[in-house]
Amino acid sequence: MTVAGTAARVEVAIVGAGFAGIGMALALRRTGRDDFVMLERGTSVGGTWRDNTYPGVACDVPSHLYGFASHPNPSWSGTFARGDEIHAYLEHVVEMEHLGDRLRLGTAMQWADWDAEHEVWRIGTSTGTVVADALVLACGRLTEPSIPAIAGLETFPGPLFHSARWDHDSPLDGLRVGVVGTGASAVQIVPQLAHDAAHVTLFQRSPAWIVPRGGTAYSAADRDRFTAHPDELARLRADLYAEGEARFASRSGDAVASARATAEALAHLEAHVTDPALRAALTPDYAFGCKRVLLSDDFYPAVASDAVTLVPSALAAVDGSTVIAADGTRHEVDALVLATGFASTQQPYAELVVGEGGQRLAAHWSGGMTSFGSTVVAGFPNLFVLNGPNASLGHSSSVLMIEEQAAYVARVLDRRAAVGGVLRVDPVAELAYTDEIATAAASTPWMTGGCRNWYVDGRSGRLTLLWPGTVDAFRARLSRADGSEFLPGPVPLPVPSALRAPLEGVA
């Protein structure tokens, strides 16, 4: 890395230092590349696992599958790792890989422009300008909290915060707490608050399918055994991988697998909620897998207890300390927690990135995110997006997808070094890949299951977050990418209008 004044010159600039950014750095190091910088707006690495510190935060993917293959961790405390453990794991990987000298903390990307004359990316940050041959956006998809438009929310006099920005200076012990949302964060938060708050009022727009979490704590002997026998740890990871791949069937609409999973979820609900009216309110009216399937053993018991009141309605308005549901009921609370998710289908960083011809990435994605290989985008040379379009999973560890994408980026950069020039995605290849995704997703519960989910972009009705297949299928798809996804010549072609607007015929 070279520095001139406030401008640093590197081969690769990585934006973000969560799993995706660190995974990209590992892939570059494996291929002998060391001329890169990691730009991280936070004060430490970790991304989602740095930002989310709410009570009960943990992963719902088995811990020994939720880590880098090159950095197995024998010290996980149990089947499902706590959030602080995952944060510490990522800090440990950075330390073990000696990435500190490539890391710029407290450095937020403010803009990124493609300089066509010099064929480089110019990235403006809060600490100076970086010039890079290639730009990797590893910004994460769950970084910007989604704050619902609720009339009078600004008038609420008590503690009010989003679950991803938990205010530890505002203890909720002994308070009447309203929780808005019943998604993945809420099912972890509510059982904790049920123990400590005076009362919890839970606003549910729609119920989730919830299956038993299970899992066990690993003893000191277990951890010592994993340390002494890495082959045993490798076998465990392989078994967990196979279980995850098998789980895809129930999430994607296989009739037999879905029926079995639905029965398991309903039995789990019935075992913990005896009140018929409450059980009916907690029973989804859409297909299993249509929304993210949640794992919890203590959410239903908490909701069924006297400590929690379920309001089967969205929060519609706030009038001082009185909160009003869409069903007209009024409730008095002292504090409000918004467990309302994130800006996912419309990624905030897209507004900051300008490619060829002055087009913003947000404009290119105005009809929903598109790409080739879930990683490269037409009209944005030498740009790579990790954990972006169709790179999420509903059945297994997202880290597996990140590793495949990072390996693909490293291969593509090797190709660039061999042939020289600029890597420009063929718009036809992007359109074909987008059609592949639409075809694969068309009959799945994500599209036909009768729910509104965060996997589908409301502007076009396309599945833009999830990869509609197994990890094996994604690995195979990227392995078939032979370079033909890039234009052969140096002259950029215009992006077809079909990529600038919602695709017709895709519901």
* Strand ranges for 210-344 from DSSP E: 210-211, 294-295, 308-311, 315-319, 322-325, 330-332, 335-338
249 within a domain of the structure (yes/no): no
> What's the pLDDT score for residue 200?
98
Q: Report pTM.
A: 0.94
Rounded Cα distance between 34 and 51, Å, is 28
Average pLDDT over the chain, rounded to an integer:
94
Is-contact 382 135, C-beta < 8 A?
A: yes
- 303 and 379 belong to one structural domain: no
- 332 and 394 belong to one structural domain: no
> What's the pLDDT score for residue 417?
78
197 within a domain of the structure (yes/no): yes
123 within a domain of the structure (yes/no): yes
Is-contact 370 429, C-beta < 8 A?
A: no
Name the nearest CA neighbour of 182 among 77, 86, 308, 15: 308
218 within a domain of the structure (yes/no): no
Centre a 10 Å sphere on the Cβ of residue 319 and count the other Cβ atoms it contains: 12
> Which of 308, 338, 368 lies at the terminal end of a domain, its last residue?
338
- 265 and 391 belong to one structural domain: no
294 within a domain of the structure (yes/no): yes
- 277 and 372 belong to one structural domain: no
Q: pLDDT tens, 436-457?
A: 999 999 999 999 999 999 999 9
Is-contact 390 464, C-beta < 8 A?
A: yes
Rounded Cα distance between 288 and 105, Å, is 41
- 352 and 445 belong to one structural domain: yes
Q: Is the confidence at residue 278, as pLDDT, over 90?
A: yes
Q: Is the confidence at residue 12, as pLDDT, over 90?
A: yes
* Domains in the chain, number: 2
> What's the pLDDT score for residue 6?
56
In CATH, what number is assigned to the domain containing residue 316?
Answer: 3.50.50.60
Burial of 277 (0-12, 13-18, 19+ CB in 10 A): exposed
- 124 and 51 belong to one structural domain: yes
Q: What is the DSSP letter of 119?
A: T
- 269 and 414 belong to one structural domain: no
Range of the structural domain that residue 160 is part of: 153-209+254-338
458 within a domain of the structure (yes/no): yes
Q: pLDDT tens, 124-147?
A: 999 999 999 999 999 988 888 999
> Which of 319, 338, 357 lies at the terminal end of a domain, its last residue?
338
For residue 315, give the amino acid letter: L
Q: pLDDT tens, 279-338?
A: 999 999 999 999 999 999 999 999 999 999 999 999 999 999 999 999 999 999 999 999
